[in-house]
Amino acid sequence: MPDKPATQEYPAIWLQGAGCSGCSVSVLNAVSPTIGQLILDEAAPGKHVSLRFHPTVMAATGRLAVEIMLGTEAGDEPFLLVLEGSVPTTISEIAGSGPDGKELDFTEHFVELAKKAMAVVAIGDCAAFGGIPASGPNLAGCKSAREVMAEHGIATPLINLGGCPPHPDWFMQTVATVLLYGLPDASALDADLRPKWFYGALIHEHCPRRPDFDAGKFATAFGEPGCMYELGCKGPYTYADCPRRKFNGGVNWCIDAGSPCHGCAETEFPNLGPGLYRKIDAGSLPRIELTADGTLAPVVPGPYGSTEGA
């Protein structure tokens, strides 16, 4: 019987900046593949992710854990850098102790790792777009991975996975795709560097309450049937596949559970439009318009309040 080909190992370093660890919890609850399949088995045939550093789940602590991370950073193996939480640029000395006993500055360390990584995956809205920590008053100077990388001239490929938290499939399938086929080219990502295969359509396009929206049947209180536009639903502005994918192994998702979409996968979250539970501007809703040549064409909003990206 021929020998099984050797499994290729891909080291990963997972940093946690300013965030709540909810993205880690989401990924730990992944259904297919499971987190065990990702880090103990093969994430894709013949490909194994060696999670060398993760503050929540690693067994090692303190200086030993940091030394493993620094060893990966200094080695020759290409590694994947995952950032959870935004980068707190005005607070230093929070990344743990280095081998010399000195505390590591989080921003400096993120920058050094991002320079050497094969790719950076910014998981969750805080890492991808600043999210809640950067929403104000932002005393910690929280910034997204993209902002910090741009300020330091870092050209390492970056993939943003918006969501608060993101669906675990968005992370698992992104990692598996990178291992199997390499880094996605620019055409596979949208203008905010999100994979189009997860963030390619508006929530509003596939919402089961869309017939109510089109018929003008709106809920005026929580628990009522009807479209939740009047209750502040951000589905008309939010690009994500939640209606089709659903959470917890396809069991349910926000709107089926009776909550408006908060736009948690979007760049402006949590300040999308007038705020949570506040109705968005009717003038910016998706609509059909008469074009100059006399044909009807759909106008779909891109970033809040504009038609960019339509």
Contact footprint for ligand SF4 (CB under 6 A): 163, 203-204, 207, 209-210, 213, 227-229, 233, 235-236, 238, 240, 242, 253-255, 261-265
The amino acid occupying position 238 is T
Q: How far is the CB of 284 from ligand SF4 (least distance, A)?
A: 12
Whose Cβ is closer to ligand SF4: residue 114's or residue 261's? 261
Whose Cβ is closer to ligand SF4: residue 88's or residue 273's? 273
Alpha-carbon span 144 to 59, nearest angstrom: 28
Return the structure tokens found at 280: 């968005």
114 and 120 Cβ atoms separated by less than 8 Å = yes
Prior bond to 137 cis, omega within 30? Answer: yes
Q: How far is the CB of 42 from ligand SF4 (least distance, A)?
A: 29
Whose Cβ is closer to ligand SF4: residue 25's or residue 57's? 25
Question: Catalytic one among 109, 142, 261, 262?
Answer: 261
Alpha-carbon span 296 to 30, nearest angstrom: 42
Q: How far is the CB of 212 from ligand SF4 (least distance, A)?
A: 7
| CA distances for 229 relative to 103, 269, 305, angstroms | 48, 17, 15
Give the SS3 label for residue 271: coil
Active site residue 227: yes
Q: For 225-241, give one letter per residue: b (16+ CB within 10 A) or e.
A: ebbbbebbbbbbbbbbb
Alpha-carbon span 94 to 86, nearest angstrom: 13
Alpha-carbon span 248 to 260, nearest angstrom: 18
Alpha-carbon span 262 to 238, nearest angstrom: 8
Q: How far is the CB of 270 from ligand SF4 (least distance, A)?
A: 10
Active site residue 126: yes
Active site residue 142: no
Question: Catalytic one among 109, 142, 233, 262?
Answer: 233
Whose Cβ is closer to ligand SF4: residue 49's or residue 265's? 265
Q: How far is the CB of 250 from ligand SF4 (least distance, A)?
A: 14
Question: Catalytic one among 167, 204, 206, 262?
Answer: 204
Whose Cβ is closer to ligand SF4: residue 73's or residue 266's? 266
61 and 67 Cβ atoms separated by less than 8 Å = no
Question: Catalytic one among 20, 48, 54, 152?
Answer: 20
Whose Cβ is closer to ligand SF4: residue 98's or residue 303's? 303
Is 305 exposed, middle or buried, given 0-12, 13-18 or 19+ CB atoms closer than 10 A?
A: middle
Q: How far is the CB of 166 from ligand SF4 (least distance, A)?
A: 8
Catalytic residues: 20, 23, 126, 164, 204, 207, 227, 233, 242, 254, 261, 264
